Structure 1
């Protein structure tokens, strides 16, 4: 194999592939990215046997001799990042791989590319088509709420529900729940059944990263034990989390007598950051008291101090106080624009708070006990 590539697009593609390849593995071959030069394009594949990716690079690629090679992730990534050359030449022979720039040259050992496990391509006849922008937004607004500690394995990922005309993403750790709905076109009658299309947190974050901001649409196909995502230049597959997701719709409050207040992210986030200054890892609760046209945020931590921040709100009913973990409300604010309006719904101090936007996003936070 002998090819030349523009360094910048090659580095971007290699970086994404390298994020899937494990740094260490009992199967040492998995710590490589496979390069295949054929048909006028370069295909990069990587896998850790749970998640896999196929990336096509055509920009700035010139193929003199077709072939395949394995490039070690850490050394190759370092070479590409440190190089100032506009073009990189890759050439293989019986002794290894030669990476060469205008003023640099590196010889690396080469494994057998024929031994690299195959990474499946997207050949499904049934799948969903949805907006790339919508998919990225759905992931960002739900993935942070998943259970990163994996105390309950089924919560260690984002649930995707794909039905006729609609896509729903859900993330929860048992203490808060984030969900977003959007439009999606079902091709060939594609849909998911049950609550078991759970994409692992790391995998769906990689999928979101692989979606180029310039992509208009993506294709998603759910199968019995894995999920495939196709963009213009990439295919990613991931094994699904084993288990069944909770009946999450029962968590969404359905209340007739709840109070709904129109608020804006920016002012709420600013007040929250101020109130949280006197909190610590052990004392994370902030009291949210609604009454007399004011939202009062109060926090108190022994040996640190107290805070009280006020915001004007359109509420003149009986005072209601909810104690919420400030981190959970901050996570909601971080994934929205500062000018984004939202509704804050509450009923009593012991019932969940429901935050929602007009574009299909809902977020439930369970209250803390008053003694925190």
Structure 2
């Protein structure tokens, strides 16, 4: 194998596939990056057996030569060293060639590295996926949906299914739901699909986070293929595979109240800042609790009290209030996490009582919903 490649393109691809490489693997070869040079270009692959990422660098793009292949071939190189080396190479062109016994020479300007390679045939194959049912979604929408749900997944392994995001697809309707049993995030969108297939799968939150980091912010569409135990995201020159979590996701529709006793409309930014200030004293307490009370139809009160530190009270104008007066306590962190994902200048908070879950939605937008369970304070 021998090829010359633009350093910047190589660095970008290496950074992308490194997101799937872990040092904590029981399969030693997975600490490496697989490099395959073919007549079309160079493909790099990284995997930790849960996530696999393949980044492809074409020979030419928009009439510019990116890779010059002298001899096709393949090799696996230690990811940790290879990624550090390519980042620090001195010139814009890099030559990589494999000599006898898998010795790999990386040359750039006057700098030359020799790395011991591993036979690429020993590298596990990427999942073979039948692409019967493909649906498409714009990249920026996919990234928004991940951002607005993935923060609510559970970080505890006691219920592994809750560490993922539940994707439900019916025709062209996609719903993404995440919950850690103390809060819930829901985002709906319309997707492009040619099949009437319906799916109900759970994608690990970690996979969606890594995918979101790799994708550029643009309107190109991403194709998504779901099989029994894998999901594949196909972007331009990028394949991202993730295993699906096994098990049944709980039916969350029962958690979402469909009536309310008190509705408050507030300005998102002012409300977030007031919660943030109140949490300054709450943080020291054991569960970061802030209290909300309705004063009258135009004012709500945000307060927090830590006996050993002090207390804070702030009055905040509300745009409107309908229904009963209310006092409720909740986690400041959960509230701030939820508010940061909501798009829109005004939000409606619907309460069904001091000890019942309440929901937060942008005004006049039912595609996104955040639900929080209150905290008992005695």
Per-residue deviation at 1:150? 2.0
CA distance in 1, matches of 2:67, 2:310: 61
- The residue matched to 1:315 in structure 2 has which SS? strand
What does residue 298 of structure 1 align with?
A: 303
What does residue 229 of structure 1 align with?
A: 233
What does residue 249 of structure 1 align with?
A: 253
CA distance in 1, matches of 2:255, 2:194: 31
What does residue 346 of structure 1 align with?
A: 351
Alignment of 1:219 onto 2:223: yes
1:20-39 alignment, distance < 5 Å: 20-39=20-39
Q: Tell me if the contact between 1:215 and 1:232 (Cα under 8 Å) persists in the aligned partners.
A: no
CA distance in 1, matches of 2:305, 2:107: 61
1:365 paired residue among 363, 372, 375: 372
What does residue 50 of structure 2 align with?
A: 50
CA distance in 1, matches of 2:261, 2:366: 21
Question: What runs of 5+ residues in structure 1 fail to find an aligned partner?
Answer: none
Per-residue deviation at 1:102? 1.7
1:139-158 alignment, distance < 5 Å: 139-158=146-165
Per-residue deviation at 1:316? 7.0
1:174-189 alignment, distance < 5 Å: 174-189=181-196
What does residue 71 of structure 1 align with?
A: 77
What does residue 329 of structure 1 align with?
A: 335
Q: Tell me if the contact between 1:145 and 1:172 (Cα under 8 Å) persists in the aligned partners.
A: yes
Q: Tell me if the contact between 1:287 and 1:297 (Cα under 8 Å) persists in the aligned partners.
A: yes
**Residues 155-209 of structure 1, C-alpha deviation per residue, up to 9 Å, x if partnerless?**
01001111211111110000000010000122233321xx5x1111111222223
What does residue 238 of structure 1 align with?
A: 242
TM-score if structure 2 supplies the norm length?
Answer: 0.91
Alignment of 1:273 onto 2:276: yes
Q: Tell me if the contact between 2:257 and 2:357 (Cα under 8 Å) persists in the aligned partners.
A: yes
Per the alignment, do residues 227 and 81 of structure 1 end up closer, same or farther by CA in structure 2, a change over 3 Å counting?
A: same
1:96-111 alignment, distance < 5 Å: 96-111=103-118
Per-residue deviation at 1:363? 0.5
Alignment of 1:210 onto 2:218: no
CA distance in 2, matches of 1:125, 1:71: 34
Per the alignment, do residues 336 and 82 of structure 1 end up closer, same or farther by CA in structure 2, a change over 3 Å counting?
A: farther
Per-residue deviation at 1:317? 5.5
2:139 paired residue among 132, 143, 152: 132
Q: Tell me if the contact between 1:54 and 1:121 (Cα under 8 Å) persists in the aligned partners.
A: no
Please, which moves more after superposition, 59-68 or 360-369? Answer: 59-68
Question: What runs of 5+ residues in structure 2 fail to find an aligned partner?
Answer: none
